[in-house]
Structure 1
C-alpha cells in the first residue's frame, strides 16, 4: 500500500462520493482506519453554501497516529473512542464485574459464561469503580478491501476474542458514501455451536461547525431514559424515567436547544417511523443539521454524550443498555442479541445532512 495512505503503522482508507447531489448539504469524503476496528477517523461534508467542513471531531491523521500508539492512554484501544467514530462490539457501553487482583481486568458473567474483560474505563473520583467499556475491537486490525472509491469493506474472524467472549464470531464491516449520505453496516455471524451474545454500537463525535454549543438543538424521540448513579461512574441503577415534559425531553419537532445541559444519558423506548429509529443534531448558526438513523430492529437505545464546554455531540445508536447483564436490571431485556448457531445479526447506521428549516 502507498505510504501516503498510512498514519504511523496504520492503513488509512479514503472514500469519496461518486453520486453526491450537486445542491444542498452532503457528505463528500470519509476516512476509515481498518487497523483500529474499522473506526471512522473523519467525514467531510459540503454545506449548502458550498463550504466543506469536518463533520467529525478528530485530530489530523499524524496527531491521531500519535494517540493511537498502544501506550498507557491507549490501553485496550481506549484512544479509538476519544475522537472520530469507533465501532463497538461485541458490546457497547459499560459492563461491570469483579476486579481481578493484579490485572487490569474484571471477571463477570456474560449470558451464563464467566469471562474476563479489560478493565479499561471508570470514574475519575477517588475510589470510583472501574469497568469494561465499549467492546473488544477498538484496537483490532481488520483485513479489508476497497473495490470502489465510495466504499470499503472488512472481515474479522474474531473467534472468542482471545478467550474474552463466549462463542465464535465473524464480523463483517462496510462503510459507504451514497447519495450524499454516510452509511455503516456491521454483520455479526455465529460460527460456533452455541448461542452467541452480541451487542453492537457506533460512537461518532459529531462536530458543531459554528462552535456555539448553547444554540445547538438535539432531537431524540424516545419515551424513557435510564437513570445512573452519577455522571462520574455513569452506572445504571436499573431504573428508567419517562422523558415527556421533563428536562430530558428532546422529542419535540425540531428538537430542543442544549443550552448548558450536561448529557451522558441513555435514551430508550425509541419511537420508530416505518421501522426506523432516528435522532438529529442541528447547528442553526452553521446552517447544518445531521440526521442519524438505523433500520436495525435490534437498536434499542441511543446514548448521547455532550459536555457543555465542548463543540461536539456524540450520538450512539446501540443494541444494548449499559451493563446489560447486571443484576440491577432484575431480568429486564437489555438489548443484547442472542444469535443462534449459523445465524447472524446486522447493525446499520446512516447519517444524512440537511439545512435547518428544510429537513
Structure 2
C-alpha cells in the first residue's frame, strides 16, 4: 500500500502544479509549459513523506531558526522542541510538519486551513489559511495567519521554494536588491550584518544567509526561462540558500530575520487576539522568446 499523500492538481494552458495538503501544505511540483520551475519532489521522497524534499513549503508561524529552541516573549521564557533531527535549533515553524485540511479547490486554486493549539512546538494558538492559485503565467501563494490565542503573540510568515539549477544548460542568475546581509556564526545564527555581496552565477555560489531590507522583487534568469518574483509588503526579508554540490537553490521571501525572537532585526510581527497577518508572493514566468 502506498504511503504517498493525496495530491491535488492545478492546471491551465501554462501551468501544471501539484499540492499535498496533508504533507505540510507543500507544493510537490510546478511546471510551466512542461518544464520544472520548482525543484520536483522525487517519487521516493514523496512516498517517504519527506516534506523537506518537496518543491515548496510554507513557513508559519516563523521562518528559519530560533536559537536552541529558546526565546523570551513578554514576561515568559519558552522552550521549543528541536523539530528536525540533528538540528540544535527550532526551525521553520510548525506548518510544514502538519497536515492542512482542504477548504475548497478547483482546477485553478486550492484553499487550505491549519488550526494550531499551543504545544511543545509553538506555545500560542493560531489559524492559518494558505491559498495557491494559477492565472495565466502566474503562480500566486497567499497566507492569512490569525491569532486565536487570548494573548498577544509573535507571528511570522513566508515560503521556502526550491529552484532547480541546470548547470549543463548554462548559468542561472539572481537579480534583486536588499540593504544588508546577516552573517552567521558557528551555530548558523546571525551575529553581525554587512553589505550584501554582488553574486555572480548561482551555479558558482555557496550561500545560506538572510538578507534584510529586501525590495520585494526579484528576477531569476535561467537557461530556459525568466522567473519574476513579487512579494507583498509583509515580506521584506529573503533567505538565499545555495548548498555546495547540489543542483538547486532556495530563495525564500519571509517576514523577519533569522532568530528574530532573540533580538535579530527585523523583528516578528506581534498580533493582538483575533488580529491577522497577511502575506503573498507571486511567481510570474516569461519565455526566453519574449525577452529576445
Q: TM-score, normalising length from structure 1? A: 0.74
- The separation in 2 between residues aligned to 1:142 and 1:315, in whole angstroms, is 23
Change (3 A) 1:114 1:16: same
Please state how far the C-alpha of 1:355 moved relative to its aligned partner.
3.1
In the other structure, the counterpart of 1:180 is 137
Question: 1:235-273 CA distances to partner (integer Å, 9 max, x unpaired)?
Answer: 210x21122xxxx225xxxxx4235221112111123xx
Change (3 A) 1:305 1:213: farther
Please state how far the C-alpha of 1:110 moved relative to its aligned partner.
4.1
Answering whether residue 56 of structure 2 is matched by residue 85 of structure 1, we say: yes
Q: How does 1:146-295 map to 2 (within 5 A)?
A: 146-160=104-118, 162-208=119-165, 210-212=166-168, 215-230=171-186, 233-237=187-191, 239-243=192-196, 248-250=197-199, 256-271=200-215, 277-283=216-222, 285-286=223-224, 288-295=225-232
- The separation in 1 between residues aligned to 2:206 and 2:8, in whole angstroms, is 34
Q: How does 1:39-54 map to 2 (within 5 A)?
A: 39-46=26-33, 52-54=34-36
Change (3 A) 1:279 1:264: same
User: Which has the larger Rg?
Assistant: 1
SS at 2:19's partner residue?
strand
- The separation in 2 between residues aligned to 1:153 and 1:301, in whole angstroms, is 25
- The separation in 2 between residues aligned to 1:215 and 1:197, in whole angstroms, is 40
Q: TM-score, normalising length from structure 2? A: 0.90
In the other structure, the counterpart of 1:24 is none
SS at 2:124's partner residue?
coil
Q: Is the 8 A contact 1:171 1:187 kept in 2?
A: yes
Change (3 A) 1:131 1:138: same
In the other structure, the counterpart of 1:117 is 80
- The separation in 2 between residues aligned to 1:167 and 1:184, in whole angstroms, is 24
Question: 1:16-59 CA distances to partner (integer Å, 9 max, x unpaired)?
Answer: 12xx4xxxxxx41111110022111110111xxxxx11222133
Please state how far the C-alpha of 1:170 moved relative to its aligned partner.
0.8
Q: Is the 8 A contact 1:290 1:352 kept in 2?
A: yes
Change (3 A) 1:40 1:206: same
Answering whether residue 41 of structure 2 is matched by residue 59 of structure 1, we say: yes
- The separation in 2 between residues aligned to 1:193 and 1:336, in whole angstroms, is 18
Superposition RMSD on alpha carbons, in Å?
Answer: 2.4
- The separation in 1 between residues aligned to 2:286 and 2:73, in whole angstroms, is 41
- The separation in 1 between residues aligned to 2:169 and 2:210, in whole angstroms, is 20
SS at 2:98's partner residue?
coil
Please state how far the C-alpha of 1:174 moved relative to its aligned partner.
0.6
- Tell me how many residue pairs correspond in the alignment: 291
- The separation in 1 between residues aligned to 2:77 and 2:51, in whole angstroms, is 26
**Structure 2, gaps ≥5 residues long:** none
Please state how far the C-alpha of 1:310 moved relative to its aligned partner.
2.3
- The separation in 1 between residues aligned to 2:53 and 2:30, in whole angstroms, is 16
In the other structure, the counterpart of 2:259 is 323
Q: Is the 8 A contact 1:115 1:164 kept in 2?
A: no
Q: 2:238 aligns with which of 296, 302, 319?
A: 302
- The separation in 1 between residues aligned to 2:268 and 2:185, in whole angstroms, is 22
- The separation in 1 between residues aligned to 2:169 and 2:239, in whole angstroms, is 18
Change (3 A) 1:258 1:65: closer
